[in-house]
Amino acid sequence: MLIRYKKNYEKIAMGLLSFMPSEKDLKRLQGTIKLYEEDQDWQLYLYKEDDIIGAIGVKIKDNEAELRHISVNPSYRGQGKGKAMLNALRNQLGNIKIKPSENTLEFFEKSGDQSKEKDICEEVTDPDSN
């Protein structure tokens, strides 16, 4: 089940996002969280089963969502949780097309996603520049 990010989930969200290579730097990670909190186009969701085990974030522009972040707690990796998160996000967003960013393209390829959505987003944005 996806839960929309709220400020009271900040520590767990930062912990999950810090597993992404692009978010290792604390200042960059704090900037990313700030975008999800302040910019309505940036939407972060936490994935919960018994506990919160993953985070998935998108930047929505027009009728397209750029998958900016996807992270699963290492204890749950290799169990299809990332793919389940992506499917839950598709259900949540409805008709909005999801495309990977440079940071999430490898996940799309590894997950065996065969959809047309595999084309990388043309607009690659950096939280530091937005």
Instruction: Name the strand (E) or helix (H) holding 51.
Output: none
Please indicate, yes or no, if residue 90 is contained in any of the structural domains.
yes
Give the closest residue to 48 by CA, choosing from 81, 92, 10, 95: 81
Please indicate, yes or no, if residue 128 is contained in any of the structural domains.
no
If one counts the domains in the chain, the total is 1
Greatest C-alpha distance within the chain:
36
CATH number at residue 61: 3.40.630.30
Strand partners, 4: 45
Inter-residue contact 11 to 57 (CB < 8 Å):
no
Comparing 57 with 122, the larger pLDDT belongs to 57
The residue assigned the tokens 């990332």 is 82
Report yes or no on whether pTM surpasses 0.75: yes
- Of the pLDDT bands very low, low, confident and very high (cuts 50, 70, 90), residue 125 is very low
Amino acid in position 91: N
Of the listed ranges 8-17, 63-72, 87-96, 99-108, the one predicted with least confidence: 99-108
Mean of the pLDDT values across residues 72-94?
94
What distance in Å separates the CA atoms of residue 9 and residue 46, rounded to the nearest whole number? 9
What are the tens digits of pLDDT across the range 24-78?
999 999 999 999 999 999 999 999 999 999 999 999 998 999 999 999 999 999 9
pLDDT at 89: 94
pLDDT at 50: 93
Average pLDDT along the chain: 87
Q: Which domain holds residue 62?
A: 2-111
Inter-residue contact 111 to 67 (CB < 8 Å):
no
Starting at the earlier edge strand, list the strands of the sheet with 2-4: 2-4, 42-48, 52-61, 64-72, 97-100
